[in-house]
Structure 1
Amino acid sequence: MYLAMNRFAVKKGQEEAFEAVWTGRETRLHELDGFKSFHLLKGPEGEDGQTVLYASHTIWNSKDDFLAWTKSEQFRDAHKNAGSNRDLYAGPPKFEGFEAVSGA
């Protein structure tokens, strides 16, 4: 199992717009081999008091399946308008990838 996560610092007051971007787009993830699930998570207020933290994560059968997604037409389509929403963020997303060591 492979978990791919992006963490976002969203400008306070922009939470609804940020969530609308994520819930309103067609990711086509279900079209790819190895895709298991996607979640968008809302976290606490950032330490700076000016942001709200979010994380998106996808779970894949393997890291290779995730890497295939990043090179796919579906990935390009899902991210084609990403630059138009920069005013929602207090900086670029931070990517983290994790391979399962154990689990139930």
Structure 2
Amino acid sequence: MPQYIAMNRFLVTPENEEAFQRRWLDREVLLQSVPGFISFQFLQGPQKEQGRLYASHTVWASYEAFVGWTQSEQFRQAHAGAGQGKALTAGPPVFEGFTVLQDVSA
């Protein structure tokens, strides 16, 4: 089965960047205990007119492993506070999922 990459993109306004980063960097990461999890990256992208682009990038052993994560107790725990507190993004996250067709490593 090919690997699967799940990404969420966020547009964050300048006044919320520090708080947005803290929300991600200070949270408890529960991914390591989920079957099929390979890696996670929290990415800071370019500055846009409306704010800065950020992305969460998760690599899974398969699409089925990713779906398993979305149905897991760890997922529920990780997203329990979603929508609570001040909105730090300019709109909802944009999800993009990709099946890996080729993977070249060093």
> Do the two structures share a fold, i.e. TM-score over 0.5?
yes
1:5 deviates by: 0.1
Runs of at least 5 residues in structure 2 that lack an aligned partner in the other structure: none
Choose which of 2, 5, 21 in structure 1 pairs with 2:4: 2
Moved over 3 A (4+): none
Superposition TM-score, scaled by structure 2 size: 0.91
- Name the residue aligned to 1:59: 59
Flag structure 1 segments of 5+ consecutive residues without an equivalent: none
TM-score, normalised on structure 1? 0.92
Deviations 1:7-30 (A, max 9, x none): 000111211110111111113100
> What residue identity is the alignment partner of 1:13?
E
- Cα deviations across residues 37-76 of structure 1 (Å, max 9, x unaligned)? 1101001112xx2311001010000000000000011001
Q: More helix per residue: 1 or 2?
A: 1
Partner of 2:25: 23
* TM-aligned CA deviation for residue 85 of structure 1: 4.4
Identity %: 51
Aligned length: 102
Distance in 2 (CA, whole Å) between partners of 1:89 and 1:98 is 23
